[in-house]
């Protein structure tokens, strides 16, 4: 700890300090957050029978007001078995803002415990997470033959499997910022049986 403090004191900016801590201690940080979230989920399951939540994580350049509009538009559509919930991380120019480091840590932890059921993000982040084996080929969770490929582009991200569906023409995702993002399914999703139902709503 003394060595870490001494090293941080030699750095001229808070951003440099954050980058250093994230680079060398991210596994400890993610592990700690994952453990806390896992314990919280376990305790919740033991003491409280809650309604299922299907979580959509949006990591894009869209503004908060755009995401709120999507949520408002979808609020009129009800699902019998679960509640649709949106989480949001904003980034610009393909780079996560300094203030979003904590949110990215949260995303990593949430992925590790199966809290996120769909991620909507751009090609660069999608490819990175696919290379880390964090997404499922879509053929394992939905019927790709039901996707109208004249309206919705399927993406393999330079692999031999289809991992993503373009949101360019997706209902409810009609803001320009969704023209270059894709729908993907984390391998850890705990609600894979409902993915088809949600995608049918987003891609009618």
Q: Are strands 53-60 and 118-122 parallel, antiparallel or unpaired?
A: parallel
State residue 94's pLDDT score: 47
> How many of the other CB atoms lie within 10 Å of CB of 86?
15
Q: Is 144 helix (H, G, I), strand (E, B) or coil?
A: helix
For range 177-203, the mean pLDDT:
91
CA nearest 122: which of 154, 166, 156? Answer: 166
Assess whether pLDDT exceeds 90 at residue 185.
yes
For range 63-77, the mean pLDDT:
84
Q: Is the pTM of this model over 0.75?
A: no
Same-domain pairing of 176 and 138: yes
State the total domains in the chain.
2
Give the Cα separation of 78 and 153 in Å (integer): 26
* Interval 17-36: pLDDT, tens: 566 665 656 666 666 676 67
Same-domain pairing of 66 and 98: yes
Q: What is the DSSP string of 12-72?
A: SSHHHHHHHHHHHHHHHHHHHHHHHHHHHHHHHHHH--PPPEEEEEEEES--HHHHHHHHH
Give the Cα separation of 135 and 131 in Å (integer): 9
Q: How far is CA 80 from CA 50, 53, 54, 64, in A?
A: 14, 11, 12, 27
* Interval 118-132: pLDDT, tens: 999 988 888 888 988
Give the Cα separation of 44 and 32 in Å (integer): 18
Same-domain pairing of 2 and 85: no
Residues in the chain: 204
Give the Cα separation of 30 and 104 in Å (integer): 10
For range 84-94, the mean pLDDT:
74
Same-domain pairing of 68 and 159: yes
Same-domain pairing of 80 and 125: yes
The CATH code of the domain that includes 64 is: 3.40.190.10
Same-domain pairing of 159 and 128: yes
Same-domain pairing of 73 and 116: yes
Same-domain pairing of 39 and 62: no
Give the Cα separation of 59 and 67 in Å (integer): 11
* Interval 168-180: pLDDT, tens: 888 888 888 888 8
Same-domain pairing of 27 and 70: no
Same-domain pairing of 44 and 86: no
For range 110-123, the mean pLDDT:
88
For range 81-110, the mean pLDDT:
71
Residue-range definition of the domain harbouring residue 43: 1-50
Same-domain pairing of 103 and 14: no
How many alpha carbons fall within 13 Å on the CB side of residue 172?
20
Same-domain pairing of 62 and 145: yes
């Amino acid at each position: 700890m003394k060595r870490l403090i001494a090293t941080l004191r030699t750095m001229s900016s808070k951003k440099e300090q954050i980058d250093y801590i994230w680079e060398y201690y991210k596994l400890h940080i993610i592990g700690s957050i994952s453990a806390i979230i896992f314990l919280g989920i376990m305790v919740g399951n033991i003491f409280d029978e809650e309604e299922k939540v299907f979580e959509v994580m949006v990591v894009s350049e869209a503004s908060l007001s755009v995401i709120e509009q999507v949520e408002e538009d979808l609020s009129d559509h009800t699902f019998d078995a679960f509640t649709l919930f949106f989480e949001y991380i904003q980034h610009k120019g393909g780079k996560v803002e300094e203030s979003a480091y904590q949110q990215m840590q949260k995303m990593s932890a949430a992925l590790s415990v199966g809290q996120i059921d769909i991620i909507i993000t751009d090609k660069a982040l999608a490819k990175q997470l696919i290379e880390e084996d964090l997404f499922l080929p879509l053929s394992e969770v939905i019927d790709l033959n039901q996707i109208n490929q004249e309206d919705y582009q399927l993406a393999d991200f330079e692999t031999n499997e289809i991992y993503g569906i373009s949101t360019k023409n997706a209902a409810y995702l009609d803001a320009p910022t969704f023209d270059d993002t894709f729908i993907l399914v984390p391998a850890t999703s705990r609600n894979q049986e409902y993915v088809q139902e949600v995608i049918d709503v987003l891609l009618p």
